Each structure stands twice: as C-alpha cells, then as structure tokens.
Amino acid sequence: MNPKLLFWIPALLRLTFLFVFAGLCWWMAGLAAGLGVALLLVLLQLYLQLSYLGQLSAWLDDSHSAKLPDGWGAWTDVFSRLYRLRRDDERSQAELTEWLARFRQAMHLLPDGVAIMDDVLFLEWCNPAAERHLGLTLERDRGMRVTNLVRHPDFIDYIILGRYEQPLTLSLRDRKLICQIIPFENRRQILVTHDATENARIEEMRRDFIANASHELRTPLTVIVGFLEIASSTPDLDPASRQAHLLLMTEQGRRMQRLIEDMLTLSRLESVDYPMRPEPVRIGALVEEVLQEARALSGGQHQVSASVDGPDISGSAEELRSAFGNLASNAVRYTPAGGSVQLIWKAGPDGPQFVVKDTGIGIDQSHIARLTERFYRVDKSRSRETQGTGLGLAIVKHVLLRHRATLTIKSEAGKGSCFTVTFPGR
C-alpha cells in the first residue's frame, strides 16, 4: 500500500475516534462536557506529540548513547525506522572500519612501497615499505613535496619528463629500487617502489659466474692450444718433449673436465625441485666411502681416520657423499704431508653433526665468510696445484641448504681447520 496512506489512515482514524468520543460526551452530558473532553483530548495529543518531538530532538543530539522511546501512534513507526537506520548505519560503519583495518594491515605487510601524493607531489600517505625504501617518515614528512624528500637527480628528471608509463631504476641508499608513478583520480598520484637489490645481486652473481667460469676454462685451453701449435709447427720435436707436452695437455684437459663436472653438479643442485625427496641414508657406509677416498687422495701421506657415533638421517645419499667428500678432500689437499685428518659423525646438542678436522695450513679469519662463494680461493695457485676448482665449498653449501643443515668453519692460519656440518635435530 502507498506509504502516505499507511500514515494518514491510522492518523485520521485516531482523530475520528477522538471526535466520536467527544460527541458521545456531548450527547450524554451536554455541549460543555463534550467540548471540554474534546479540548482535553486534543491537549493530551499535543502534549504527546511535543514530548516525542522533544525526545527525538534529544536523541538527534546524542544518537549513540541516548535510547529511542517506543512511541505511540505514528511515532512508533517513525522511531522504529530511525532505529533501523541507525543500526544499518552502525553496521556499515563497522564493516568500513574492518575493511580499513584490513587494508592498512595489507599495506603494512606489502613488500612494495606505496606512497600517495596529490597532483603537485605533496605526500599524503605512505606505507612502511615506502618509508624504508625512500627514507621517509610519514609523521614527519606528510605534506612535504616528494622531490624535496627524495633528492636524486634521476628521480627529479623522471618527474620533470613525466614519462610515467616507464618505470625508473634508482640506486638509493645502497639499494636498487624500481619506481613508478601512477596517476589516479583527477588530482592524485601513487608512487610505487619495488626493492630489486636481491634480483640485481643474483644477476651480478650470474654475470660473475660466467666471467669466472670462462676465465677458468681459458687458462687450460690456452696451454693445450699452445702445445698443439708447437706440435704442428715442429714436426721433428724430440720424443721426450713430445711426451712431456702430452702429459701437460692431459693434465689441463682433466682440469677442464673437473671444472665442467663441478659446474654441472652446481647447476643440477640449483635446478632440482626444492626440497628434494629424502631417503634414509646409512651414514656408517657413507663415511667409510669418504674415508677410503680421502686415503686414496692422500696416498699414505696423512693420517686419515674416521669415527661414527650418531644416528642415521634422511636426505640424498648421493648429494651428502659429494658434500662430505668435498670437505674431506679439502682437508687432505690443504694439509701438508705428515699431518692428520679426522672425519667424525656424532650426535651434537642441536642435531647430528659431521666434523672434518685437519692439522693443515688453516685459513685466515678474513677469508672465512667468503669461502663458499663460487671460485673463491684463498690461494689460487695452491688450489690449482692440488686440483681444486674453487667450486667445492659452493657445492657443499648448496647440498646443506637443501638438507636444512648449516656449515660452521673454525680455522686459524697455520694451525689447521675444523669444518662442522650440523643437521636439524628431530
């Protein structure tokens, strides 16, 4: 039904009832009584309307704490509709607050920086990542011009040129940032920043790796090509020299083989899905194999011993053999004849441990942090002499990473080294 009718019909009915009652009084007790009753009832109505109006006015002043009355007549409907309105309003307010809180939290957790600026680049708001990336403090810098806050010539050029469809790469505060400005609404712009330092570092590592690998391969190749040229230009080379050249070429060829094998191992370790599928590894047999290999490498020049007193673990037996073998071969190769090498498998306080101890040349403290970098060697010529590729500890690091194990190196130049691998405890 029409809402107007819904209001007017009961109102008119109530009025009719009032006059009918007054008419009844008139009929029963005379005109004066009838008029008196009518006046009384009209006054009562007026009082009721005014008092509800007063209550409504008070409620409007303080609609959150004051309570709405139930009302009488048309007021019942008005009050209940107002009450419903307020409840809906409170509900959407609460929803909005919740959304805002969620949005704030998301912005807090976002690894990328977001800064909102007006059309003339005055900072209005930014998230913590933007504060970190650009060196801002929202409290302090709100309302300042972003070009005054980020004083980098490339950034200023970017703003002046206004080619915002292209991102800008900035070197700022020792980090590589990718920035982009996105205009939105009519008079606002968003500055988005992404920290690409890690990507740039990986890219640089790749470049270094290729440069190093090429360099490492070039040296033996130069030797081989040199001897081949001698052989082809001097057909009457004496057999003894020829034999010596062949021997050197074979040695250099083997060196290239070792390099390529290690590079392939590294690339395999990197490309295999992480984490690997673990299998039970019989450590006793594995350490025994590593021990035999180390003894063969030493050729009886060192005292090489092993002890196994710890639980078996699960992992990749092949990868672990390669990692343990690398540590053991380093110990033999960097320990002068007469020294000793110990391989120990034991149950450590934080989990099972594999320890390789030697009494060799040791490592100066300044080198220790960089030993697991690819091609990093303390003494290049010594590493080559002993058939090193400079990739052994990089392989060890990768294998351990895949087994969630850690490597600690304790060493002192001239006093020997101790490499400890700690596997996660149960």
Ligand X SMILES: Nc1ncnc2c1ncn2[C@@H]1O[C@H](COP(=O)(O)OP(=O)(O)O)[C@@H](O)[C@H]1O
The one among 325, 392, 405, 407 contacting Mg ion by CB under 5 A: 392
Quote the DSSP letter at residue 152: -
- Least distance between ligand X and beta carbon 361 (Å): 5
**383 makes contact with ligand X (CB under 6 A):** yes
CA dist 92 → 80, 83, 106 (Å): 18, 14, 21
Least distance to ligand X from the beta carbon of 210, Å? 18
Per-residue x/- track, 312-341, ligand X (CB under 6 A): --------------x---xx--x-------
Q: Distance between CA 124 and CA 104 in Å, rounded?
A: 15
CB of 341 to ligand X, least distance (A): 9
Provide the minimum distance between the beta carbon of 130 and ligand X in the complex, in angstroms, as a whole number: 41
| Interface with ligand X in residues 357-376 (CB under 6 A) | 358, 360-363, 371, 376
> Among 393, 400, 407, 421, which residue sits at the site for ligand X (rule: CB under 6 A)?
393
Per-residue x/- marks for ligand X, 129-168, CB under 6 A?
Answer: ----------------------------------------
State which of residues 18, 48, 378, 401 lies at the interface with ligand X (CB under 6 A): 378
| 265 lies in the binding site for ligand X (CB under 6 A) | no
- Report the first-to-last Cα separation within the chain, whole angstroms: 74
Angle at which helices 74-109 and 31-61 cross, to 10° = 10
* Strand duo 188-195 + 175-184: pairing: antiparallel
Omega of the bond leading into 275 within 30 degrees of 0 (cis) = yes
**Per CB under 5 A, 330 contacts Mg ion:** yes
- In whole angstroms, give the CA distance from residue 178 to residue 289: 51
Q: Are 407 and 354 in contact (CB under 8 A)?
A: no
Read off the tokens for 221.
């190749």
For residue 417, state whether it binds ligand X (rule: CB under 6 A).
yes
Shortest Å distance, C-beta 112 to ligand X: 37
- In the bound state with ligand X, the residue whose beta carbon lies nearer, of 180 and 386, is 386
- Tokens at 71, concatenated: 């009302």
Compare residues 333 and 403 and give the one whose CB is closer to Mg ion. 333
Instruction: Say if CB 303 and CB 341 are below 8 A apart.
Output: yes
Structure tokens of 352?
């099972």
- Selected range binding ligand X among 6-14, 275-283, 343-351, 390-398, rule: CB under 6 A: 390-398
Interatomic CA distance for residues 170 and 327, integer angstroms: 42
The Cα–Cα gap between 142 and 420 comes to: 52
Query: Nearer to Mg ion by C-beta: 245 or 397?
Result: 397
CB of 333 vs Mg ion, minimal distance in Å:
7
Burial grade of 216 (CB within 10 A; 0-12, 13-18, 19 or more): buried
Map residue 62 onto helix, strand or coil: coil
Chain positions contacting ligand X, by CB under 6 A: 326, 330-331, 334, 358, 360-363, 371, 376-379, 383, 388-394, 417
Chain positions contacting Mg ion, by CB under 5 A: 330, 388, 392
